[in-house]
């Protein structure tokens, strides 16, 4: 963001000028001591995806510790160096200029400009976006303050949804007197199978009025056909809240593509902003269907920002969001998506047929992106999968994570990053061949 409008005559001017560079650097090359974003002009994402030299250059923009091969990048996204540097500058700026800066700059327009930028990037109007500390804060407010549920209405979610969103849905029993229904998604999943599973559940529970959908599952990486299911839900008078914590940034889309009215997003996963920032989306004409957070009075009820009340937060990380978006765009959102898919397909193609391995995530490109989960055949317990992750880590130097909560059993999630190399993938394939022989 630029703060050019503020030109104080004081000894801190230099610091302000430094801060003025925030959010303006990466799109034109993100130059840093450790490298720059290679030019992608005119190159097709699918061709770029397999160009190791290109991704080595991109990878050098990330300060990844190579002591272990990190295949657990779904937890949160590593900041690229230009982003980390901007974040450090922003921490210093907020710390040195303190309330004076925050009241005269950030509160007086800086925060609004960041919201404008996020809205523009995701294809929303600024009045539809409120910044939050992450997807959790966004979705907890959306779910628990959705005010159209009456006692006896059904609120529905699935086994693959995120735990804390499941808790928030369960809370609707106490808060709204709703009947809360949990369904299990099919495994293996198919595009039509998923649509059919939701259709069957909605038919079985005709009183359903609220449905939670997770765009990309953190458990298995499954991409749910949100728009198709949302259309079907709308025809039955069901509102849909989408958990897009893992999708935007990993895959490229505009919020309107989802065809839903309420969405929670993260910026600190696949967009690569500092930890602690996300946002909620409420379609303009649906604002009144989500009540204000704790009767918020800081903003009028007609302002979406009254739907979340964070309190004093980490301003420096919010200030760094434009830098993260700049780097995301400079690397290229479609190129990023193509690379993550390419890395995923590379290891899955070589391991899917291993006799003792189950790859949970389908190969249909509509149903996955970069994340995929596995388990050894018949090994469905928490312990089984903790052991599998431990073997990968201790015997092969590959860091992954066990994920539970899948109706058919626990699994191990593999999530690559932009600094993952073809050689890292080869190591994973080698390890799985030995383990699942």
Ligand X SMILES: Cc1ncc(COP(=O)(O)O)c(C=O)c1O
Shortest separation between residue 410's beta carbon and ligand X, angstroms: 16
CA-closest candidate to residue 188, choices 228, 220, 235: 220
Residue 278 vs 362, nearer CB to ligand X: 278
Shortest separation between residue 310's beta carbon and ligand X, angstroms: 12
Order the strands of the 357-359 sheet from edge to edge: 357-359, 372-376, 411-414, 401-403
Binding window for ligand X (CB under 6 A); candidates: 134-142, 166-174, 182-190, 252-260: 134-142
Residue 23 vs 134, nearer CB to ligand X: 134
Q: Which residues contact 62 (CB under 8 A, 6 or more apart)?
A: 78, 79, 80, 81, 417, 418, 419
Q: Which of 70, 85, 90, 136 binds ligand X (CB under 6 A)?
A: 136
| Residue 162 binds ligand X, judged by CB under 6 A | yes
How far apart (Å, rounded) are the C-alpha atoms in residues 352 and 63? 32
Residue 55 vs 279, nearer CB to ligand X: 279
How far apart (Å, rounded) are the C-alpha atoms in residues 338 and 23? 25
Binding window for ligand X (CB under 6 A); candidates: 199-207, 243-251, 302-310, 428-436: 243-251
- CA 263 from chain centre, in angstroms, equals 11
Q: How many residues bind ligand X (CB under 6 A)?
A: 11
For residue 25, report the phi and psi dihedrals to the nearest 5 degrees. -90, -45
Shortest separation between residue 111's beta carbon and ligand X, angstroms: 19
How far apart (Å, rounded) are the C-alpha atoms in residues 155 and 148? 11
CA-closest candidate to residue 31, choices 101, 104, 80: 80
Shortest separation between residue 162's beta carbon and ligand X, angstroms: 4
How far apart (Å, rounded) are the C-alpha atoms in residues 347 and 432? 9
H or E element at residue 157: strand 154-158
- The answer to whether 263 and 409 are in contact (CB under 8 A) is no
Residue 146 vs 162, nearer CB to ligand X: 162
| Residue 266 binds ligand X, judged by CB under 6 A | yes
Residue 208 vs 266, nearer CB to ligand X: 266
| Residue 246 binds ligand X, judged by CB under 6 A | yes
How far apart (Å, rounded) are the C-alpha atoms in residues 300 and 34? 46
Q: Which of 58, 135, 185, 242 binds ligand X (CB under 6 A)?
A: 135
H or E element at residue 263: strand 262-266
Tokens of 133: 């500390």
Q: Which of 35, 80, 134, 409 binds ligand X (CB under 6 A)?
A: 134
- The answer to whether 153 and 210 are in contact (CB under 8 A) is yes
How far apart (Å, rounded) are the C-alpha atoms in residues 107 and 96? 16
Shortest separation between residue 237's beta carbon and ligand X, angstroms: 26
Binding window for ligand X (CB under 6 A); candidates: 20-28, 129-137, 294-302, 409-417: 129-137
Q: Which residues contact 107 (CB under 8 A, 6 or more apart)?
A: none
Residue 278 vs 332, nearer CB to ligand X: 278
Q: Which of 3, 79, 245, 258 binds ligand X (CB under 6 A)?
A: 245
Shortest separation between residue 171's beta carbon and ligand X, angstroms: 16
| Residue 218 binds ligand X, judged by CB under 6 A | yes
CB hemisphere CA count around 188 (13 angstroms): 14
| Residue 411 binds ligand X, judged by CB under 6 A | no
Residue 135 vs 287, nearer CB to ligand X: 135
Binding window for ligand X (CB under 6 A); candidates: 101-109, 133-141, 310-318, 409-417: 133-141
Residue 354 vs 401, nearer CB to ligand X: 401
Whether residue 192 has a cis bond before it, omega within 30° of 0? no
Residues in contact with ligand X, shown as a per-residue x/- string from 173 to 212 under the rule CB under 6 A: ----------------------------------------
Q: Which of 73, 90, 214, 220 binds ligand X (CB under 6 A)?
A: 214
Residue 109 vs 405, nearer CB to ligand X: 405
Binding window for ligand X (CB under 6 A); candidates: 148-156, 205-213, 242-250, 332-340: 242-250
Shortest separation between residue 250's beta carbon and ligand X, angstroms: 11
Shortest separation between residue 73's beta carbon and ligand X, angstroms: 11
Residue 49 vs 139, nearer CB to ligand X: 139
By the 10 Å C-beta count (0-12 exposed, 13-18 middle, 19+ buried), 370 is classed as: buried
How far apart (Å, rounded) are the C-alpha atoms in residues 117 and 181? 37
By the 10 Å C-beta count (0-12 exposed, 13-18 middle, 19+ buried), 227 is classed as: middle
* Positions in the binding site for ligand X (CB under 6 A): 134-136, 162, 214, 218, 243, 245-246, 266, 278
């Amino acid at each position: 963001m630029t703060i050019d409008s503020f030109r104080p005559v004081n000894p801190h001017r230099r610091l302000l000028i430094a801060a003025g560079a925030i959010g303006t650097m990466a799109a034109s090359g993100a130059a840093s001591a450790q490298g720059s974003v290679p030019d992608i002009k005119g190159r097709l994402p699918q061709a770029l995806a397999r160009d190791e030299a290109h991704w080595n250059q991109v990878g050098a923009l990330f300060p990844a510790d190579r002591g272990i091969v990190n295949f657990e990048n779904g937890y949160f996204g590593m900041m690229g160096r230009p982003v980390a540097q901007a974040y450090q500058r922003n921490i210093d700026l907020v710390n040195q200029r303190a309330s004076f800066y925050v009241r005269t700059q950030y509160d007086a327009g800086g925060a609004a400009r960041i919201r404008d930028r996020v809205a523009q990037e995701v294809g929303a109007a600024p009045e539809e976006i409120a910044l939050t500390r992450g997807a959790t804060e966004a979705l907890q407010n959306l779910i628990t303050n959705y005010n159209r549920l009456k006692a006896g209405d059904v609120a529905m979610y699935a086994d693959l949804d995120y735990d804390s969103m499941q808790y928030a849905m369960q809370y609707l029993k106490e808060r709204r007197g709703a009947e809360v229904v949990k369904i299990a998604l099919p495994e293996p999943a198919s595009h039509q199978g998923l649509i059919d599973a939701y259709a069957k559940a909605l038919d079985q529970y005709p009183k359903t009025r609220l449905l939670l959908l997770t765009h990309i599952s953190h458990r298995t990486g499954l991409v749910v056909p949100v728009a198709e299911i949302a259309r079907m839900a709308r025809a039955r008078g069901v509102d849909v809240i989408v958990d897009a914590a893992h999708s935007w940034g990993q895959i490229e889309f505009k919020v309107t593509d989802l065809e839903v009215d309420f969405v929670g997003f993260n910026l600190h996963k696949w967009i690569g902003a500092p930890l602690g920032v996300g946002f909620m989306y409420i379609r303009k004409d649906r604002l009144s269907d989500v009540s204000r957070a704790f009767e918020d009075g800081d903003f009028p009820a007609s302002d979406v920002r009254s739907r979340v009340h964070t309190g004093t937060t980490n301003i420096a990380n919010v200030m760094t969001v434009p830098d993260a978006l700049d780097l995301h765009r400079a690397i290229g959102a479609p190129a990023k998506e193509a690379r993550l898919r390419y890395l995923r397909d590379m290891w899955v193609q070589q391991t899917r047929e291993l006799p003792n391995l189950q790859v949970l995530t389908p190969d249909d490109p509509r149903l996955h992106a970069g994340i995929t989960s596995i388990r050894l055949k018949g090994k469905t317990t928490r312990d089984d999968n903790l052991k599998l992750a431990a073997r990968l880590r201790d015997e092969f130097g590959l860091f992954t994570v066990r994920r539970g909560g899948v109706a058919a059993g626990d699994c191990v999630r593999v999530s690559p990053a932009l600094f993952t190399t073809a050689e890292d993938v080869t190591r994973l394939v080698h390890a799985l061949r030995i383990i699942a022989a």
